[in-house]
Structure 1
Amino acid sequence: MSLRINRHKEEAMYVVIRSYSGDGAAEVFDLIEQKQDEAEEVIAQVPGFVGYVAFRTEDGGTAATICRDKAGAEESSRVAARWVLENVSQTPEVPKVMQGETISAFVGEWSTD
Protein backbone atom coordinates (compact mmCIF):
# COMPACT_ATOMS: atom_id res chain seq x y z
CA MET A 1 0.00 0.00 0.00
CA SER A 2 1.11 3.52 -0.68
CA LEU A 3 -0.32 6.91 0.15
CA ARG A 4 -0.41 9.69 -2.40
CA ILE A 5 -1.01 13.23 -1.17
CA ASN A 6 -2.88 15.64 -3.43
CA ARG A 7 -2.15 19.25 -2.50
CA HIS A 8 -4.21 22.22 -3.59
CA LYS A 9 -1.72 25.10 -3.75
CA GLU A 10 -2.81 26.93 -6.88
CA GLU A 11 -5.58 29.01 -5.37
CA ALA A 12 -7.18 29.69 -2.04
CA MET A 13 -10.49 28.04 -1.31
CA TYR A 14 -13.18 28.89 1.20
CA VAL A 15 -14.50 26.60 3.94
CA VAL A 16 -17.71 26.84 5.92
CA ILE A 17 -18.28 24.65 8.98
CA ARG A 18 -21.73 24.14 10.46
CA SER A 19 -21.89 22.56 13.95
CA TYR A 20 -25.26 21.36 15.18
CA SER A 21 -25.96 20.57 18.84
CA GLY A 22 -28.95 20.38 21.14
CA ASP A 23 -32.51 19.47 20.23
CA GLY A 24 -32.87 18.01 16.75
CA ALA A 25 -29.13 17.78 16.01
CA ALA A 26 -28.99 13.97 16.08
CA GLU A 27 -31.89 13.77 13.63
CA VAL A 28 -30.05 16.06 11.18
CA PHE A 29 -27.13 13.63 11.02
CA ASP A 30 -29.40 10.58 10.93
CA LEU A 31 -31.01 12.10 7.83
CA ILE A 32 -27.68 12.99 6.21
CA GLU A 33 -26.68 9.35 6.64
CA GLN A 34 -30.03 7.91 5.49
CA LYS A 35 -30.45 10.29 2.54
CA GLN A 36 -26.79 10.56 1.60
CA ASP A 37 -27.39 10.61 -2.17
CA GLU A 38 -29.97 13.39 -1.86
CA ALA A 39 -27.83 15.46 0.52
CA GLU A 40 -24.83 15.00 -1.76
CA GLU A 41 -26.78 16.17 -4.80
CA VAL A 42 -27.99 19.32 -3.02
CA ILE A 43 -24.53 20.41 -1.84
CA ALA A 44 -22.59 19.32 -4.94
CA GLN A 45 -24.72 21.60 -7.16
CA VAL A 46 -23.46 24.72 -5.37
CA PRO A 47 -21.33 26.82 -7.77
CA GLY A 48 -17.64 26.33 -7.03
CA PHE A 49 -18.18 23.18 -4.95
CA VAL A 50 -14.95 21.31 -4.12
CA GLY A 51 -15.69 18.97 -1.21
CA TYR A 52 -17.92 18.06 1.73
CA VAL A 53 -17.64 16.06 4.93
CA ALA A 54 -20.10 15.39 7.76
CA PHE A 55 -19.46 13.65 11.05
CA ARG A 56 -21.18 12.98 14.36
CA THR A 57 -19.96 14.58 17.57
CA GLU A 58 -20.81 13.99 21.22
CA ASP A 59 -23.58 16.58 21.13
CA GLY A 60 -24.80 16.34 17.52
CA GLY A 61 -22.61 16.71 14.46
CA THR A 62 -20.60 18.94 12.18
CA ALA A 63 -20.61 19.42 8.41
CA ALA A 64 -17.97 21.24 6.37
CA THR A 65 -18.15 22.39 2.77
CA ILE A 66 -15.18 23.54 0.71
CA CYS A 67 -15.81 25.85 -2.24
CA ARG A 68 -13.67 27.87 -4.61
CA ASP A 69 -14.90 31.15 -3.12
CA LYS A 70 -16.83 32.75 -0.27
CA ALA A 71 -20.01 33.10 -2.34
CA GLY A 72 -20.13 29.34 -2.94
CA ALA A 73 -19.48 28.55 0.72
CA GLU A 74 -22.25 30.89 1.82
CA GLU A 75 -24.63 29.43 -0.76
CA SER A 76 -23.83 25.94 0.58
CA SER A 77 -25.02 27.08 4.03
CA ARG A 78 -28.27 28.39 2.55
CA VAL A 79 -29.04 25.20 0.61
CA ALA A 80 -28.02 23.03 3.58
CA ALA A 81 -30.34 24.98 5.89
CA ARG A 82 -33.21 24.65 3.41
CA TRP A 83 -32.61 20.89 3.02
CA VAL A 84 -32.51 20.40 6.80
CA LEU A 85 -35.75 22.32 7.36
CA GLU A 86 -37.50 20.40 4.56
CA ASN A 87 -36.45 17.00 5.94
CA VAL A 88 -36.44 17.05 9.75
CA SER A 89 -39.49 16.45 11.91
CA GLN A 90 -38.16 18.70 14.70
CA THR A 91 -36.53 22.02 13.80
CA PRO A 92 -32.98 21.90 15.18
CA GLU A 93 -31.22 24.73 16.94
CA VAL A 94 -29.44 27.12 14.59
CA PRO A 95 -25.95 25.70 13.92
CA LYS A 96 -22.79 27.46 14.98
CA VAL A 97 -21.18 28.58 11.71
CA MET A 98 -17.49 29.25 11.16
CA GLN A 99 -15.96 30.14 7.82
CA GLY A 100 -12.72 31.29 6.31
CA GLU A 101 -10.21 31.11 3.50
CA THR A 102 -7.91 28.09 3.34
CA ILE A 103 -4.20 28.44 4.10
CA SER A 104 -3.44 24.77 3.40
CA ALA A 105 -5.42 22.00 1.73
CA PHE A 106 -4.51 18.43 0.88
CA VAL A 107 -6.10 14.99 0.75
CA GLY A 108 -4.59 11.53 0.82
CA GLU A 109 -5.38 8.65 -1.48
CA TRP A 110 -4.40 5.07 -0.66
CA SER A 111 -3.48 2.72 -3.45
CA THR A 112 -2.54 -0.96 -3.50
CA ASP A 113 0.21 -0.54 -6.14
Structure 2
Amino acid sequence: MTDPAEAGRRVDEGFVSLLRQVPGFVAYYWIDAGDGVMVSTSVFEDEAGAEESVKRAAGFVRDHLTSLLPNPPQVTAGQVVAAGQ
Protein backbone atom coordinates (compact mmCIF):
# COMPACT_ATOMS: atom_id res chain seq x y z
CA MET A 1 0.00 0.00 0.00
CA THR A 2 1.42 3.38 -1.01
CA ASP A 3 0.71 6.18 1.45
CA PRO A 4 2.82 9.27 0.64
CA ALA A 5 1.31 11.34 3.46
CA GLU A 6 2.12 8.72 6.10
CA ALA A 7 5.57 8.11 4.64
CA GLY A 8 6.23 11.87 4.73
CA ARG A 9 5.07 12.06 8.33
CA ARG A 10 7.39 9.24 9.36
CA VAL A 11 10.31 10.80 7.51
CA ASP A 12 9.64 14.21 9.05
CA GLU A 13 9.25 12.86 12.58
CA GLY A 14 12.09 10.32 12.53
CA PHE A 15 14.51 10.42 9.63
CA VAL A 16 15.22 14.14 9.34
CA SER A 17 16.64 14.27 12.87
CA LEU A 18 18.95 11.34 12.00
CA LEU A 19 20.28 13.20 8.98
CA ARG A 20 20.89 16.40 10.91
CA GLN A 21 23.35 14.46 13.07
CA VAL A 22 25.52 13.52 10.07
CA PRO A 23 28.58 15.77 9.71
CA GLY A 24 28.31 18.00 6.65
CA PHE A 25 24.49 17.97 6.52
CA VAL A 26 23.10 20.92 4.54
CA ALA A 27 19.50 20.11 3.57
CA TYR A 28 16.92 17.37 3.02
CA TYR A 29 13.72 17.32 0.96
CA TRP A 30 10.95 14.70 0.73
CA ILE A 31 8.73 15.13 -2.32
CA ASP A 32 5.38 13.53 -3.14
CA ALA A 33 5.56 13.42 -6.93
CA GLY A 34 2.10 11.88 -7.26
CA ASP A 35 0.92 8.48 -8.46
CA GLY A 36 2.74 6.74 -5.59
CA VAL A 37 6.11 8.21 -6.54
CA MET A 38 8.14 9.72 -3.69
CA VAL A 39 11.53 11.36 -4.11
CA SER A 40 14.03 12.48 -1.52
CA THR A 41 17.09 14.67 -1.96
CA SER A 42 19.85 15.13 0.57
CA VAL A 43 22.59 17.74 0.33
CA PHE A 44 25.89 17.34 2.15
CA GLU A 45 29.13 19.28 2.14
CA ASP A 46 31.15 16.19 1.19
CA GLU A 47 30.91 12.66 -0.11
CA ALA A 48 31.53 11.11 3.33
CA GLY A 49 28.37 12.73 4.71
CA ALA A 50 26.36 11.62 1.71
CA GLU A 51 27.57 8.03 2.08
CA GLU A 52 26.68 8.02 5.78
CA SER A 53 23.21 9.33 4.95
CA VAL A 54 22.64 6.43 2.54
CA LYS A 55 23.51 3.97 5.31
CA ARG A 56 21.12 5.66 7.72
CA ALA A 57 18.41 5.86 5.07
CA ALA A 58 18.66 2.13 4.35
CA GLY A 59 18.09 1.31 8.01
CA PHE A 60 15.25 3.79 8.37
CA VAL A 61 13.46 2.54 5.26
CA ARG A 62 13.86 -1.08 6.40
CA ASP A 63 12.58 -0.34 9.91
CA HIS A 64 9.87 2.27 9.22
CA LEU A 65 8.82 2.59 5.56
CA THR A 66 8.89 -0.80 3.84
CA SER A 67 5.12 -1.29 4.18
CA LEU A 68 4.43 2.13 2.60
CA LEU A 69 6.77 1.94 -0.40
CA PRO A 70 5.67 -0.21 -3.35
CA ASN A 71 9.17 -0.41 -4.85
CA PRO A 72 12.65 -0.64 -3.36
CA PRO A 73 14.43 2.73 -3.15
CA GLN A 74 16.92 3.70 -5.85
CA VAL A 75 19.99 5.65 -4.79
CA THR A 76 21.70 8.12 -7.11
CA ALA A 77 24.60 10.36 -6.08
CA GLY A 78 26.36 13.25 -7.73
CA GLN A 79 27.83 16.69 -7.32
CA VAL A 80 25.79 19.88 -7.36
CA VAL A 81 26.77 21.77 -10.50
CA ALA A 82 24.18 24.56 -10.37
CA ALA A 83 21.96 25.96 -7.63
CA GLY A 84 19.71 28.90 -6.87
CA GLN A 85 17.94 30.31 -3.87
What range describes the TM-score normalised by the shorter chain of this pair?
0.7 to 0.9
TM-score w.r.t. the length of structure 1 is 0.60
Runs of 4+ with >3 A deviation: none
1:82 equivalent among 53, 59, 62: 59
Partner SS state of residue 62, structure 1: strand
Once the two structures are superposed, what CA deviation does each residue of 1:11-55 show, in whole Å capped at 9, x if it has no partner? xxxxxxxxxxxxx6x347623324513221011111110000011
Q: Which residue of structure 2 lines up, in the alignment, with residue 73 of structure 1?
A: 50
Identify the structure with the greater helix proportion: 2
Deviations 1:62-108 (A, max 9, x none): 0000000111112111101111111136284321221111112232x
Match of 2:8 in 1: 32
Alpha-carbon distance between aligned partners in 2 of 1:35 and 1:94, rounded to the nearest angstrom:
16
Report what 2:22 is aligned to.
46
Closer, same or farther in 2 for the Cα pair 1:44/1:29, shift >3 Å? farther
Q: When you count strand as a share of all residues, which structure comes out higher?
A: 1
Give the TM-score taking structure 2 as reference length.
0.77
The SS at the match of 2:82 is: coil
In structure 2, the gaps of 5 or more residues are: none
User: Match for residue 78 of structure 2?
Assistant: 100
Query: Root-mean-square deviation (CA), in Å?
Result: 2.3
Count of residue correspondences? 83
State the distance in 2 between where 1:82 and 1:91 align: 15
Larger radius of gyration: 1
Identity score, percent: 25
1:70 partner letter:
E
Judged with a 3 Å threshold, the aligned counterparts in structure 2 of structure 1 residues 69 and 29 are, in CA distance, closer, same or farther, namely farther
